Amino acid sequence: MSTRTGRKKTGGRYIVRRKKKLYERKGQSRVVKLGEEKRKKMRVRGGNIKNFLFRGKFVNVSGKKLEIKNVLETPSNRFLARQNVITKGTIVETDSGKVRITNRPSQEGVINGVFVK
């Protein structure tokens, strides 16, 4: 069996029947870093508006707005913590203690979290 991608067992090519439609295309990957707040509004499918966050400085924890001092660890990828990238599940340091991020800030436009014991 052939392991070449895009090929059949016999060596023939799989031909793409059509181009991707606009709604099927992949969006630009967004990375939320620690820094001064920076947001962007974008029109999405259905005429709706989405807020994208590019840099964030504050996290909402149980009704309080706390300033993020440092990114401690990221379970999905340890190299992201070194670059101060904030994703879901990231542990950040604040004045009141360690906080775990509970949402996806790159898609929601805000950073929410809960205290870690």
Type and span of the H or E element at 79: helix 78-82
Give how many domains the chain has, as a whole number.
1
Residues 6+ apart with CB under 8 A from 43: 49
Q: Identify whether 105 is part of a domain.
A: yes
Q: Is residue 14 part of a domain?
A: no
Residues 20-61 pLDDT 10s: 988 888 878 889 999 999 999 988 889 999 899 999 999 999
> Residue 13 domain-assigned?
no
Q: Which residue range forms the structural domain that includes residue 93?
A: 28-115
* Residue percentage of the chain with pLDDT more than 70: 97
CATH code of the domain containing 61: 3.10.290.70
Note whether residue 15 is domain-resident. Answer: no
Tell me what pLDDT residue 30 has: 87
Determine, yes or no, domain membership for 17: no
- Residue 59's CB is within 10 A of a number of other CB atoms, namely 25
DSSP H or E stretch at residue 106: helix 105-108
Does 61 map to a domain? yes
